[in-house]
A = this chain, B = another copy of it.
């Protein structure tokens, strides 16, 4: 299988390269970069070992532009470009390749909502309803038939996974008070002053609280798609780690719902899912899923309040990892094929 990756000089693209160069079903990887076309991909990302070089022979180990990439007729194309730029750069691939887009361009199915959230009209409004929302554990059947997959954002993935089973079974009700902590890599690799090491180390802060963060509309859509819409108040925070996300969601359990009911619901939903780990009412740590495609869950219930905890690596299960998981689902491979499942220690 031939795979192309748009945006290999960003963190998402680097994560995709790592996974695809080791994936057992991939024979050829075509690295795409408009700004660094011609550069050897191992110069762009010196952490890639030369042992993956065989799969890069099609482009002589170098990044190419999108047009050149299209000539290789990739079976699957990943884009981790910024929104709007992504939908445009994917033009040569909508026909003929399965497209997995990691940007926000196809996550919302309504052009008006997109424009409201992102301040500009979507680049390809005609494709919004065609795109399949790629929350792997909840949309596998649709993903398996999709030619355009909108890979979810890190915050929505981490927030929705513990909520959806409980919402679907009406074990909880809103409002959902969501506090999310994100590692800095979620902000991407663009050179911004407020993402410098010296601005982030020994520092933490909330940002874009309430409905102001762009991911809220996506979380709402995820609830609507797979369950029911609830009132939500979402506060993301930046903390000085590179890769990791910790979401704490406080909700009210429905009348008569106890910890055991919560446990059973989460187990039912995920006991056969290789990329969701739920060891019971414990609190997960982000290091235990770092560099893995696993979302780990936990909970605490007390006096009419339920706290749900969920962690993932924003670059793996929150981006590149789930994208490969969706490729696996689309091409009939085992869901976790080629994906790391052990975290750090």
**Chain A residues engaging chain B, CB cutoff 8 angstroms:** 11, 14-15, 18, 21-22, 42, 45-52, 175, 177, 179, 181, 184-185, 189-193, 195-207, 209-212, 233, 235, 237, 239-244, 246, 248, 250, 274, 277, 279, 283-292, 294, 300, 302-303, 305, 307, 309, 311, 336, 341-345
Our pick among B181, B185, B212, B235 for the contact of A237 (Cβ within 8 Å) is B181
Our pick among B196, B212, B341, B345 for the contact of A51 (Cβ within 8 Å) is B341
**Contact across chains for B46 and A285 when beta carbons are under 8 A apart:** yes
Contact A246:B197 (CB < 8 A) given known A52-B342, A303-B211: no
**Contact across chains for B250 and A177 when beta carbons are under 8 A apart:** yes
A341 to B18, CA, bound (A): 10
A42 to B288, CA, bound (A): 11
13 A-B contact pairs sorted by A residue (CB < 8 Å): A21-B342, A46-B284, A46-B288, A49-B292, A51-B336, A181-B181, A185-B198, A197-B200, A204-B244, A209-B248, A211-B302, A235-B248, A240-B241
**Contact across chains for B250 and A300 when beta carbons are under 8 A apart:** no
Closest-by-CB residue of B relative to A175 is B305
**Contact across chains for B244 and A203 when beta carbons are under 8 A apart:** yes
**Contact across chains for B205 and A284 when beta carbons are under 8 A apart:** yes
Contact A305:B197 (CB < 8 A) given known A18-B342, A205-B283, A345-B15: no
Contact A198:B209 (CB < 8 A) given known A203-B285, A285-B204: no
Q: Name the B residues within 8 Å of A50 (CB-CB).
A: 277
Q: Name the B residues within 8 Å of A181 (CB-CB).
A: 181, 204, 237, 239
Closest-by-CB residue of B relative to A13 is B345
Our pick among B51, B201, B237 for the contact of A246 (Cβ within 8 Å) is B237
**Contact across chains for A48 and B248 when beta carbons are under 8 A apart:** no
Our pick among B11, B51, B207, B235 for the contact of A198 (Cβ within 8 Å) is B11
A303 to B210, CA, bound (A): 9
Our pick among B49, B248, B302 for the contact of A341 (Cβ within 8 Å) is B49
**Contact across chains for B286 and A205 when beta carbons are under 8 A apart:** yes
Q: Name the B residues within 8 Å of A203 (CB-CB).
A: 241, 244, 285-287, 290
